[in-house]
A and B are shown apart, each in its own frame.
Chain A
């Protein structure tokens, strides 16, 4: 049934991605691939993986953007993007077969690979480019929010989070119920001014992005120059001077 759930899901599981923290290491994309190539929508087919023109199915991709500003100078922002599990998911309503659906119990958007005819219309309807066509299987695939991990009774409680979340080395990804205003993720979004991508497309995405914090200037005491002043001068002890010499060599 590709109509959206009649009763909009109360529980809205999703991700909060902190653009201030993300270092663009691609670890979440790699672990996403690792988990999901054995999961709900397995395999995540690659073609020509070691050849000249490798392509393949990835549910999570890391873009890097340059933000130019004449006043404040430029900055680089690493930007992971996966399915945003939208409230008004156009990928679901355009699907002619009922293969695409949004779960009433938690809002997760999934594809039933046994019903998908591979018409690709859902990938045209998603403004974010979150759908992935598997040329080999002839069906559409996408981020499952690791539905086979977050509810997996065989895993210890603390491991029941999406693969991308558990693997992020800097903690830039959080997972939780964005439908509950009291949840940790909702509080985080409220505190940091989390926002929707392309609100003008009216998809009401569940996933939220946290903006980079304003650049710190020297006046606030955190500038690089200040931190690099030598730790020791001639009045320091021998050991301190030796350490300083060693470190600045």
Chain B
């Protein structure tokens, strides 16, 4: 599948944004977040910037961005529509909770707790909807499996935690609870990514050139002549293929930058204090940012679509 920049930015940025928003609210509800106005204010500001930036960028690849509101209408059947609806809805409880936490912290009636819990759940559901856009596409075997929603949720939590730690480090000593949370999510995400790649390398779509043409009973099916001399829309959009050698190199880059280095740097921050810890956490975030963008690029580039079977691909 063609890795479009706008979609890569959308899924990574909004994923981190919702992860951060979730942690801010959950942290405050459980009394784990460091006190003070500025850390929380910066946290909410960054999370909404990531979310809004991601959502805006996702409209860039549309043929008609001005009609984007129509995408909110078909939530009964479409995960993309559900994602849009949830993204809009999530602003309400999370925004209310952020206002309460920032500006009226002393008044804490039960209802704000409920709003906070709803907001935190909305964050999870929105990321789940994003993942299901991909996981519900049966023609893409690399996507339509249970690894995909789990991965989106884990990576959202992981990147959210890395942003949170880097931000809080600007205001004071890092909070051990969030450092440990980041470490745990990094380990979980690393294990998930390796299992996903293992799955991908050992599995094939049920669809083959034989089933695509129905000619299997006569023998092995190979493309003899494509319909056109030049690449068409389908081949550019769905026929994108990356050489195995390059994919392996990018997988190693992903493992190192997205998981291993942030893991070591966060571990370092747990044991050293002061500005060294802050520097380590910021470095961890920068590494992870490049690593996650590579991860997402590969998520598209390594995915094969059944339409390739009509254009010479041996498997999908």
Residues of chain A touching chain B, judged by Cβ–Cβ distance below 8 Å, are 1-4, 19, 24, 29, 53-58, 61-69, 72, 74-77, 79, 81, 90, 92-99, 115-121, 123-129, 132-135, 137-139, 195-202, 209, 211-212
**30 cross-chain CB contacts under 8 A:** A2-B78, A3-B77, A19-B215, A55-B233, A56-B232, A63-B223, A63-B226, A63-B311, A66-B222, A75-B219, A81-B310, A90-B138, A94-B79, A96-B71, A97-B74, A98-B74, A118-B63, A119-B63, A124-B1, A127-B305, A128-B310, A129-B305, A129-B310, A132-B234, A138-B64, A139-B63, A198-B212, A200-B207, A200-B211, A211-B215
A117–B306 CB distance below 8 A: no
Instruction: Give the distance in Å from the alpha carbon of A1 to the alpha carbon of B207 in the complex.
Output: 30
Within 8 A of A (CB), among B39-88: 61-65, 67-68, 70-74, 76-81, 84
A55–B232 CB distance below 8 A: yes
Q: Which of A94, A95, A138, A195 contacts B214 (CB 8 A)?
A: A195
Please indicate the chain A residues that have their CB under 8 angstroms from the CB of B78 in the complex: 2, 93-96, 121
| Given A65-B221, A81-B310, A117-B70; 6 other pairs, CB 8 A cutoff | A67-B215, A97-B71, A117-B68, A119-B63, A129-B306, A132-B234
Q: Which of B65, B223, B233, B234 contacts A65 (CB 8 A)?
A: B223
Instruction: Give the distance in Å from the alpha carbon of A1 to the alpha carbon of B219 in the complex.
Output: 42
In this complex, the member of A57, A124, A195 whose beta carbon has the largest number of chain B beta carbons within 10 angstroms is: A124
Q: Is B227 an interface residue (CB 8 A)?
A: yes
Q: Which of B136, B223, B230 contacts A53 (CB 8 A)?
A: B230
Q: Which of B84, B219, B230 contacts A54 (CB 8 A)?
A: B230
Instruction: Give the distance in Å from the alpha carbon of A242 to the alpha carbon of B57 in the complex.
Output: 78
Residue in chain B with minimal CB distance to A4: B77
A139–B64 CB distance below 8 A: yes
Known contacts A67-B218, A202-B138, A121 near B80 by CB under 8 Å: yes
Please indicate the chain A residues that have their CB under 8 angstroms from the CB of B68 in the complex: 117
B70–A115 CB distance below 8 A: yes
Please indicate the chain B residues that have their CB under 8 angstroms from the CB of A81 in the complex: 310
Q: Min CB distance, A245 to chain B, in Å?
A: 38
Please indicate the chain A residues that have their CB under 8 angstroms from the CB of B253 in the complex: none
B212–A197 CB distance below 8 A: yes
Residue in chain B with minimal CB distance to A121: B80
Instruction: Give the distance in Å from the alpha carbon of A81 to the alpha carbon of B237 in the complex.
Output: 18
Residue in chain A with minimal CB distance to B134: A124
Instruction: Give the distance in Å from the alpha carbon of A153 to the alpha carbon of B220 in the complex.
Output: 46
Mark each residue of chain B from 75 to 106: 1 if its CB lies under 8 Å from any CB of chain A, else 0.
01111110010000000000000000000000
User: A-side binding surface: helix, strand, loop or mixed?
Assistant: loop
User: B-side binding surface: helix, strand, loop or mixed?
Assistant: mixed
B70–A58 CB distance below 8 A: no
B230–A55 CB distance below 8 A: yes
Residue in chain A with minimal CB distance to B234: A129
Q: Min CB distance, A88 to chain B, in Å?
A: 11
Please indicate the chain A residues that have their CB under 8 angstroms from the CB of B222 in the complex: 65-68
Q: Which of A64, A121, A124, A196 contacts B305 (CB 8 A)?
A: A124
A117–B63 CB distance below 8 A: yes
Instruction: Give the distance in Å from the alpha carbon of A140 to the alpha carbon of B19 in the complex.
Output: 34
Q: Min CB distance, B221 to chain A, in Å?
A: 5
A125–B137 CB distance below 8 A: yes
Q: Min CB distance, B177 to chain A, in Å?
A: 39
Residue in chain A with minimal CB distance to B309: A198
Q: Which of B1, B62, B226, B311 contacts A119 (CB 8 A)?
A: B62
Q: Min CB distance, A191 to chain B, in Å?
A: 17
Instruction: Give the distance in Å from the alpha carbon of A58 to the alpha carbon of B128 in the complex.
Output: 36
Known contacts A2-B77, A90-B138, A63 near B225 by CB under 8 Å: yes
B81–A96 CB distance below 8 A: yes
Q: Min CB distance, B10 to chain A, in Å?
A: 12
Q: Min CB distance, B25 to chain A, in Å?
A: 27
Q: Is B203 an interface residue (CB 8 A)?
A: no
Instruction: Give the distance in Å from the alpha carbon of A126 to the alpha carbon of B305 in the complex.
Output: 9
A211–B217 CB distance below 8 A: yes
B227–A29 CB distance below 8 A: yes
Instruction: Give the distance in Å from the alpha carbon of A62 to the alpha carbon of B210 in the complex.
Output: 17
Please indicate the chain B residues that have their CB under 8 angstroms from the CB of A126 in the complex: 139, 307
Q: Which of A69, A92, A124, A129 contacts B140 (CB 8 A)?
A: A124
A127–B77 CB distance below 8 A: no
B74–A75 CB distance below 8 A: no
Q: Is B250 an interface residue (CB 8 A)?
A: no
Q: Is B13 an interface residue (CB 8 A)?
A: no
Q: Min CB distance, A6 to chain B, in Å?
A: 12
Q: Min CB distance, A83 to chain B, in Å?
A: 13
Instruction: Give the distance in Å from the alpha carbon of A166 to the alpha carbon of B254 in the complex.
Output: 54
Instruction: Give the distance in Å from the alpha carbon of A125 to the alpha carbon of B133 in the complex.
Output: 10
Instruction: Give the distance in Å from the alpha carbon of A56 to the alpha carbon of B1 in the complex.
Output: 20
Please indicate the chain B residues that have their CB under 8 angstroms from the CB of A66 in the complex: 221-224
Please indicate the chain A residues that have their CB under 8 angstroms from the CB of B72 in the complex: 96
In this complex, the member of A29, A65, A96, A116 whose beta carbon has the largest number of chain B beta carbons within 10 angstroms is: A96
Known contacts A53-B230, A93-B78, A201 near B306 by CB under 8 Å: yes
Q: Min CB distance, A122 to chain B, in Å?
A: 10
